[in-house]
Structure formats: structure tokens, C-alpha cells
Amino acid sequence: MDGKHKVKHPATDCDVLIVGSGPVGMALALELVLHQVSFRIVSLFPCRAMLRALIIQPRTLELFSRYGAAEELIPRGRILQGMAICLDGKPAGAIALNQFKASDTRFPLPLNISQAETERFLLESLSSHGVSIERSITATSVVQDDNGITTMLQTHDGGLETVRSKYVIGCDGARSVVRQAGEGMIWKGSSYPQSFLLCDVHIRNSLRRQDQGLLQVSREGMFGIFPIREDLFRIVVSGPAATFDQQGDTSSVPTLEHFQSLFDRFTPPGSGTLEDPVWISRFRLHLKGVNKYRDRRIFVAGDAAHISSPVGGKGMNTGIQDAINLGWKLALVLQGQVQDPEAFLNTYHIERHPIGQELLQSTDRMFTFMTSTNRFFIPIRNFAVRYILPWLTPTDWWNRAFYKFLSMFGVTYREKSPIVGTAAGFNGRIRGGDRLPDGKLWLTSKNTGITSTTVQALCVGGSHHLLLFSGEHCEETTNELEYVRDEVLGAVSFRLAVHFIYRKVKEEPAIALNDYYLWPSELVEETLLKRFGFSEESLPGYILVRPDGYVAHIGPLSALDEFLSFLRKHFVAPVEEAESVAEYYSPFEDDSSDEIGSETRHDSSLGAESTSKCASSTQLNSTIAADSSFEHVSTAEHAFTPLSFSSPSA
Ligand SMILES: Cc1cc2nc3c(=O)[nH]c(=O)nc-3n(C[C@H](O)[C@H](O)[C@H](O)COP(=O)(O)OP(=O)(O)OC[C@H]3O[C@@H](n4cnc5c(N)ncnc54)[C@H](O)[C@@H]3O)c2cc1C
């Protein structure tokens, strides 16, 4: 140790140390807040001013909405409606994202927004929970043993601190120090030979559409324009056009004039004038990934686990989704809720590593396709762009497949993960491991009257959610639903919110403390039940939703035994059932219950607004119940105080 490292603090403890406060580190911190885990988050650099990642994909927006108003992000960016594609300067096709009209989400389109704004959103969300990031701190070494992990932190003035924690999560980017400390974590891949030019710039006096991107593919390389907000755009150039600037220089940062000349060359007259650049850069891209995401107490997420080309706009999105996958698993293990903590934590690698690999492969294919200057490949690409693309883009199946890929709604852990499942013989489209699709519901409440909500808006906060669908005959199945609820509550001790969802009310029902109605349109009602696979013969069924918004288990109520075996295999039951119900279960009949009120308020502050509405809801609104044209969905919700609680570090 050199002489300037004079200030030495004693070892401090926390459950989790997050190294790195890029978007991935901050998303993980938010997850840990949500799950009431004690942690620290340290980072070398302050928030960045550069824009970097441009696209937040619809799935990430859905997941962000669990932290609060993701809608607030939308005015800070621009919804991307589509991309025009040109070949050698001539229009060759267009991808109209807005034609997909996904009905099972509140966020059907990607949001183009600067990474600085995304980071601001995450930072504001963290600040609202009293969490601050410890800045200008470098993790210099990470050493694990059987009982914990020791990280050496160095402050900018040379001070040293030793932190002892149970886990360290490397969200420290491509050069991750944490990853380097992981035994057998091999970082492999290559760098692309091309150099790229990037300019985030205002385009003035332009006739071009501001909600559509443009991709020009030609022998001279690739030229792309992507809207950011108002008249701010990103221009990216690769290939020969990017290799030589006006002075024949291949290494210096290009000038605005150089971009203007490229812009004039690749866009039609009247496309505008480039002014006030925000960021100009020349950069190289890499394609690298780590072979394992976990080594005992060390985990890696985000760019520390995978870096790829920005084509498709998924690197940051994938990293954020890594963090969301890991957060609740760490929490359940730390709270002693799982049967086999080691196996449970391994599912982070099992679920996320294939997604990271798929990111690397798919972005590589797209990138190579668009930027190749190989003279044998160019005619093939030109043929594909000129003849195959215009034929593909209007077809439904291609659009659906492309949208599923782009939106990241297609991310699934089905059949790969041991901690998700589907009841034997259940034929619904949604399977264990899939994303929980969204759909509209009506909530009635004594206090708030009738409000609309959605399935995903119910499933927020740090708990699992059990959705119990009554099927056609709600009065007859009420007892059955209550029985299933009680059995499940007796099998697990993690926080669980239970929602009874009734389909039909024939007369004013006496059920339901909190009631949800399907949207009174046949289309949505059918769609919603069909979506979950409960429309066939109006099957009563269940869905257990994980805190990260994926289906843990799904099936008909008749598969209860199979469902309970699944729960008992993976999760710890309450120590004593009778006690646990008395201690942790607070029925919502009692509006004045302070304990539930505060528990639910905590969740609602992270986006569980509808949960808190549930908590205060008591009686079915009779005006609505009298209207027999309404399909009826009813929800009774039960929340638990957590078994162990440790405050997040402030
Ligand atoms: C030009 C460009 C465009 C892109 N466009 C997109 C896009 O449209 N969509 C998309 O999804 N992705 C995109 N990406 C990728 C995206 O920017 C990254 O995937 C994302 O920033 C990764 O976030 P991260 O938090 O994992 O890492 P980073 O953002 O790299 O953050 C790492 C953090 O770790 C800290 N740190 C590093 N070492 C240490 C240490 N030893 N001790 C303490 N702290 C440390 C750093 O200070 C920093 O806070 C793009 C990337 C580039 C370059």
C-alpha cells in the first residue's frame, strides 16, 4: 500500500455491496429497496452527461413502472414510431412499429431517450427513498471466503475502507474489477474492426419526420439517424464513410462540418442543418460476454456481464433486466425464504446467461448484416433489403416476431429455469417463466369509487402475487378460491398479495372486499382470459407472479396439489401456520389497521398504488354491481409484513 493511502476506516458491514452506479447498479439498488435489503452502492464516476444508450424497450418501461411513474419518462424522450430503410439512397422499405398495436401492455412502443435522462429517473427514484450513491469511490479488490466477502474501497483523496458484506454485485461495466475477482469468470469475445462516428446534434430547418428513424445501407457503409427528443437526433456512421474523415484521418474525433457533409450525402435535400452538437465521438465496438454470472458471493450484471453493439438498442435494457432478476432472489435468500439458497441463487445465471448470449448473437448478426463491406456479402444484403424486406414487412408473422424480439416481451425463462412451472396438461398460451401480460381491470372501492387498473399495476411492490381466477361461476368458486389461498399461504412465508378475480356477477354480490371488473367490452374480456388460458370452459385458475413480473407457476385450480408441491420444493413454509396467520396476515376488512396501512404504503411508494387502493377498499359499489352488463372481477388482497427487515442504507 503506498503512503498516500493514509485514512483507514474499520470494516463496515452490509448485506449487499453494489459496485457501480450506472443504470444497472441503480436498478439493482431500487430492487433492494423494494425488498428491504440492507445494501451500499458505491461508484467511481458521478452521473454521466453523455447520452450513450438511446432506447428504452417496452419491457423495461413496464418494469420501470414498478418504481413509480414510468409515464413521466415519456415526455423526456420521443416514442419511436418506425424506421425508414434506404438502399444506395433509394427507399427500400419501412418498419412501422406503430402497426403492431400490442394490446397487452401500457407501453407498446420503444422510447428514445438519452441515457442521462434514464439515469436521472433512477437516481430520482432512489433519492425519493432516501438512498444516496457513494460517489468517487473505487473498488480496488474483492476477496471472498466461506463467511463473507471483503471489498477494499478507495476514496478520491486516498482514503481506504474495508467493507464486509454477504454478497458483492459487479455493476461496474466492461472492465469490471468485481468480475476479475470471480474465480472461473472468463471474459471472452472480440472487437469489431470498424470504427464508428457518432453525433448527437440538433437538426434545424428540417422537413424530416421527428418520430421516425432512418437507416441508409450502401457500399459506403451504414448511416443512421435516430430521434432523441424535439429536434435532437443521433447520427451514427460506419464503414468507409466513417473510416476517413475529410483529412483522411482515421483516429481523431470528427467535426460537426464532417457530419454535415455526411448528412448532406445520405439524406435528401431539405433534411436540415446540423447545429449545437451535444456529443461527438469516434468509437470502437466490442462483443464480449462472461461465461458465468455468479461465483459464490460474487455476481455480475449489465456491461460487466455482456457488451455488444448498440444495434437493436438492448445492452442497457438487458443489464437493467439482469438487475431486476437478481434483486428479489438475493432478498429471498437473505430473508431465509428459500429451501436451497445456493440452487436458488444459481438460477440467476441459469435464467440470465442465455439472455445475455442471445443479446450477443442477435446484435452481432444485425450489426454484421448492416455494416459489412465484404464484396461477396454486399450483393446478398442488397438483394435481401431490396426484395425480401419489402415482402416481409407487411406480413403479420414477421411483424409479430420482430416486435416480440424488439420489445423484449419475448424474454422468457420457460423450460430453462427450475424455479418456474406450468401445471401438467394446462394448455394456456402463458407458461411458467413467461412475462405476465397486462390487461385492464376495474377496481371498485368505498373510498375511491370506480377506477380502472391493470393486471400489471396490481402486481407491484416487493411481494409475490397470487392471482386467483374464479371462472364462470364466481359464487360457486368463492369457497374454492379461499381454500386455495389458505393452502398457498400455509406453504410459503414470503410476502404474498392475493387477488381474487371474478369473472361474472349475476346479481349484486356480497363477495369481495376489493373488486376488479374486466373492462366491459367483450373484446378485452375475452382477450384477457384467453391470454391467460382461462377462457376455455371458463376454467378457474391461478397464476403465481414473481416480484420481477414473470410467471412463477400457472394452472387450473384443480392442479393445486402440483402447485403446492412446487412451492414446498422451493420455498420455506411459515414456522407455525397458525401463528403466522395471526402474526402476519391482516385482512383488509379492517381499514384502520395501521400495520397493513404502513406496509402497503411502503409498497405503494414504489409503484403499488393500486395495492394501497386495495388495502382501503371494502364494499362493492352497488351501482356498478346492479349493471349486469359488467363482467365482474373481484380481488381480495392479503399482504404480509416481511419476516425479516433491515433498512436500506441511506
Ligand atoms: C454509443 C452507445 C450507444 C448505446 N445505445 C444503447 C441503446 O440504445 N440501448 C441500450 O440498451 N444500450 C445501449 N448502449 C449500451 C449501454 O450504454 C450500456 O449497456 C449501459 O451503459 C451499461 O450500464 P452498466 O450500468 O452495466 O455499466 P456502465 O454504464 O458502464 O456503468 C458502470 C459503473 O461502474 C462504475 N465503476 C466502474 N469501475 C468501478 C470500480 N472499480 N469501483 C467503483 N465503481 C466502478 C462506473 O463509475 C459506472 O458508474 C449503448 C452504448 C454505447 C457506447
Residue (of 428, 435, 433, 369) closest to 408 by Cα position: 435
Nearest-atom number in ligand 1 for the CA of 23 is: 25
Cα 316 to averaged position of ligand 1 atoms, centre (Å): 7
| Nearest CA owner, ligand 1 atom 2 | 52
Identify the pLDDT of residue 284. 84
Nearest-atom number in ligand 1 for the CA of 24 is: 25
Cα 4 to averaged position of ligand 1 atoms, centre (Å): 30
Cα 173 to averaged position of ligand 1 atoms, centre (Å): 5
Which residue of 18, 52, 135 sits with most ligand 1 atoms within 8 Å of its CB, as the best mutation to test the pocket? 52
Do 490 and 543 share a structural domain? Answer: yes
Q: Domain for residue 644, yes or no?
A: no
Give the number of C-alpha atoms closer than 13 A to the C-alpha of residue 237, restricted to the C-beta side.
27
Cell numbers placing 382: 442488397
> What is the tally of structural domains in the chain?
2
Residue 361, C-beta contacts closer than 8 angstroms, at least 6 positions apart: none
Which residue of 48, 60, 80, 115 sits with most ligand 1 atoms within 8 Å of its CB, as the best mutation to test the pocket? 115
Q: Domain for residue 613, yes or no?
A: yes
Do 593 and 502 share a structural domain? Answer: yes
Do 51 and 156 share a structural domain? Answer: yes
Nearest-atom number in ligand 1 for the CA of 281 is: 1
Do 371 and 443 share a structural domain? Answer: no
Cα 140 to averaged position of ligand 1 atoms, centre (Å): 19
Strand partners of residue 640: 585
Cα 385 to averaged position of ligand 1 atoms, centre (Å): 32
pTM of the model: 0.85
Cell numbers placing 219: 457500399
Which residue of 44, 280, 359 sits with most ligand 1 atoms within 8 Å of its CB, as the best mutation to test the pocket? 44
| Nearest CA owner, ligand 1 atom 13 | 53
Cα 37 to averaged position of ligand 1 atoms, centre (Å): 24
Cell numbers placing 559: 392442479
Q: Which residue ranges have their beta carbon within 6 Å of ligand 1?
A: 19-25, 42-45, 52-55, 115, 138-139, 171-173, 177, 198, 302-303, 310, 313-317, 319
Do 531 and 426 share a structural domain? Answer: yes
Do 427 and 371 share a structural domain? Answer: no
Identify the pLDDT of residue 359. 95
Identify the pLDDT of residue 192. 84
Q: What is the CATH number of the domain that holds 167?
A: 3.50.50.60
Alpha carbons 571 and 343: distance in angstroms, whole number: 12
Residue (of 544, 588, 590) closest to 570 by Cα position: 544
CB atoms within 10 A of CB 490: 16
Instruction: Please give the C-alpha separations between residue 46 and each of 22, 49, 51, 472, in angstroms, as whole numbers.
Output: 9, 9, 14, 56
CA dihedral sign of residues 243, 245, 251, 256: negative
Q: Domain for residue 200, yes or no?
A: no
| Nearest CA owner, ligand 1 atom 31 | 22
Residues of the chain under the 70 pLDDT cut: 1-12, 46-51, 100-101, 240-252, 442-451, 472-476, 503-527, 536-538, 576-650
Cell 470504427, residue located: 195
Identify the pLDDT of residue 274. 96
Do 436 and 368 share a structural domain? Answer: no
Alpha carbons 62 and 67: distance in angstroms, whole number: 10
Cα 310 to averaged position of ligand 1 atoms, centre (Å): 12
CA dihedral sign of residues 450, 456, 457, 461: positive
Strands 306-307 and 514-518: unpaired
Alpha carbons 484 and 416: distance in angstroms, whole number: 27
Do 447 and 325 share a structural domain? Answer: no
581-587: long-range contacts (C-beta < 8 A, 24 or more apart)?
Answer: 581/489, 584/640, 584/641, 584/643, 585/489, 585/638, 585/640, 586/638, 586/639, 587/513, 587/638
Q: Domain for residue 485, yes or no?
A: yes
Instruction: Please give the C-alpha separations between residue 610 and each of 70, 187, 398, 617, in angstroms, as whole numbers.
Output: 15, 43, 36, 10
Do 442 and 578 share a structural domain? Answer: yes
Alpha carbons 208 and 523: distance in angstroms, whole number: 37
Q: What is the 3-state secondary structure (H, E, C) of 4-69?
A: CCCCEEEEEEEEEEEECCCHHHHHHHHHHHHCCCCEEEECCCCCCCCCCCCEECHHHHHHHHHHCC
Cα 252 to averaged position of ligand 1 atoms, centre (Å): 23
Nearest-atom number in ligand 1 for the CA of 303 is: 26
Do 473 and 337 share a structural domain? Answer: no
Alpha carbons 409 and 512: distance in angstroms, whole number: 32
* Residue 73 and residue 55 in contact, taking contact as beta carbons nearer than 8 Å: no
* Residue 113 and residue 75 in contact, taking contact as beta carbons nearer than 8 Å: no
DSSP letter string over 358-372? HHHHHHHHHHHHHH-
Task: Name the E strands within 250-405.
Answer: 273-290, 294-295, 298-300, 306-307
| Nearest CA owner, ligand 1 atom 6 | 53
**Range of 625's domain?**
421-635
Do 431 and 295 share a structural domain? Answer: no
Identify the pLDDT of residue 333. 98
Cα 177 to averaged position of ligand 1 atoms, centre (Å): 14
Where is the domain boundary, 329, 356, 379?
A: 379
Which residue of 50, 169, 172 sits with most ligand 1 atoms within 8 Å of its CB, as the best mutation to test the pocket? 172
Nearest-atom number in ligand 1 for the CA of 177 is: 41
Q: What is the CATH number of the domain that holds 571?
A: 3.40.30
> Helix, strand or coil for residue 142?
strand
Phi, psi (degrees; rounded to nearest 5) at 352: -95, -30
Cα 357 to averaged position of ligand 1 atoms, centre (Å): 18
Cα 409 to averaged position of ligand 1 atoms, centre (Å): 22
Cell 397470487, residue located: 466
Do 357 and 482 share a structural domain? Answer: no
* Residue 163 and residue 150 in contact, taking contact as beta carbons nearer than 8 Å: yes
Identify the pLDDT of residue 247. 54
Where is the domain boundary, 324, 346, 379?
A: 379
Phi, psi (degrees; rounded to nearest 5) at 224: -125, 145
Query: Could you report the per-residue pLDDT of 539-575, keeping only the tens digit for each?
Result: 889 999 999 999 999 999 999 999 999 999 999 999 8
Q: Domain for residue 38, yes or no?
A: yes
Nearest-atom number in ligand 1 for the CA of 178 is: 41
CB burial readout 260-276, b (16+ within 10 A) else e: bbbbeebbeeebbebee
CB atoms within 10 A of CB 284: 10
Give the number of C-alpha atoms closer than 13 A to the C-alpha of residue 165, restricted to the C-beta side.
27
Strand partners of residue 189: 288
Alpha carbons 477 and 295: distance in angstroms, whole number: 47
Q: Domain for residue 236, yes or no?
A: no
Strand partners of residue 275: 202
Alpha carbons 470 and 541: distance in angstroms, whole number: 7
Cα 307 to averaged position of ligand 1 atoms, centre (Å): 9
Alpha carbons 616 and 614: distance in angstroms, whole number: 5
| Nearest CA owner, ligand 1 atom 30 | 173
Q: Domain for residue 253, yes or no?
A: no
Q: Domain for residue 650, yes or no?
A: no
Where is the domain boundary, 379, 395, 413?
A: 379
Identify the pLDDT of residue 403. 85
Nearest-atom number in ligand 1 for the CA of 319 is: 26
